[in-house]
Amino acid sequence: MLEPSTFFHRDKDILGGQPVFVGTRVPVRILFEYLEAGDSLNLFLDDFPSVSREQAVAALKLARQSVFDHARAA
């Protein structure tokens, strides 16, 4: 089981409390914006070298899990 606080956190003193990757000031939403725009994970990581691949993949895995956890059965 992934522990989200290992990979990202919120702090009201960092970007107004937006979730950011631990050890950075990079908002997690930027990863999703890149992917929504059709950009690759590698491009995101190249543009934000302070974010590790492990952190980015953890965000995607947790988002995927959230979808499965909240999907209603038909």
- Is 54 inside a domain boundary? yes
Nearest alpha carbon to residue 34 among 64, 57, 42? 42
- Is 18 inside a domain boundary? yes
Determine the pLDDT at residue 54: 95
Helix (H) or strand (E) holding 60, with range, is: helix 53-70
Nearest alpha carbon to residue 21 among 7, 39, 11? 7
**Domains in the chain, number:** 1
Contact criterion met (CB below 8 Å) for 11 and 21: no
Residue 56 CB neighbours (<10 A): 22
Q: What is the pLDDT of residues 13-30, one digit of tens each?
A: 999 999 999 999 999 999
- What pTM, to 2 d.p., does this model score? 0.87
CATH of the domain at 54: 1.10.10.10
